[in-house]
Chains A and B, each alone.
Chain A
Amino acid sequence: ETGVTQTPRHLVMGMTNKKSLKCEQHLGHNAMYWYKQSAKKPLELMFVYNFKEQTENNSVPSRFSPECPNSSHLFLHLHTLQPEDSALYLCASSRGTGGQGTEAFFGQGTRLTVV
């Protein structure tokens, strides 16, 4: 256990559905991240939050909507997704976003399938 918990672990949704992914960290970290990992592709950074403020949106389509109510919780709201959005979605947290001791620790991921 890394101290970062993601739910659900698996999700199948239709293209017209709305669903949310949840991430919670128990490490006292200030920064949280969403990454997407598609088959045979590198990890893609989607969003970065530092002290609840979004500091990075890596040109992510608006059908993905992040929410960070506090430093311990991060959500990814999904709506009208496409089959190509099927991937492993990983949440991570770190003490900060730069400098020493800012290693990112990952949750177990949500395997998303869009049908």
Chain B
Amino acid sequence: QKEVEQNSGPLSVPEGAIASLNCTYSDRGSQSFFWYRQYSGKSPELIMSIYSNGDKEDGRFTAQLNKASQYVSLLIRDSQPSDSATYLCAVILGGFKTIFGAGTRLFVKA
């Protein structure tokens, strides 16, 4: 089992729709979870961090965490073509190393 798993996609949504991205992780002891956005040829950019069960909202982005199910998700409301990118889920494992999933490619169609 991979330490951090994501569907590779691509996920295609129309402009204005909600994009839903999912991630599961293997270490039950993990306490810190992050979502990054990476445009082609660029480095990852932090979007959201979440540490407690439940939802955390920041503008059009909502991160959801369920530690019992070892599941974290990212919702993007009112998706825009500029949101088209690869979204990386990251988890701090073993208390000290940040491990990334393979990423989900998102396409937002105008």
Contacts and interface: CB of A to CB of B under 8 A. Distances in A.
Interface of A: 2, 33, 35, 41-43, 45, 48, 50, 55-56, 88, 90, 92, 94, 97-100, 102-109
24 contacts: A2-B43, A2-B45, A33-B98, A35-B100, A42-B102, A42-B103, A43-B88, A43-B100, A45-B97, A50-B96, A55-B96, A55-B97, A97-B92, A97-B95, A97-B97, A97-B98, A100-B32, A100-B49, A100-B51, A102-B32, A104-B90, A104-B98, A105-B46, A106-B44
Given A100-B51, A102-B32, A103-B34, A56 B43 contact: no
B46 A103 contact: yes
Contact of B98 (A41, A94, A100, A107): A94
A28 B48 CA distance: 21
Nearest to A108: B43
Nearest to A55: B96
B31 A99 contact: yes
Contact of A103 (B31, B49, B95, B102): B49
B22 to A, nearest CB: 16
A101 to B, nearest CB: 8
Nearest to A4: B43
Given A98-B32, A100-B51, A43 B95 contact: no
A54 to B, nearest CB: 11
Contact of A48 (B42, B96, B102): B96
Nearest to A56: B97
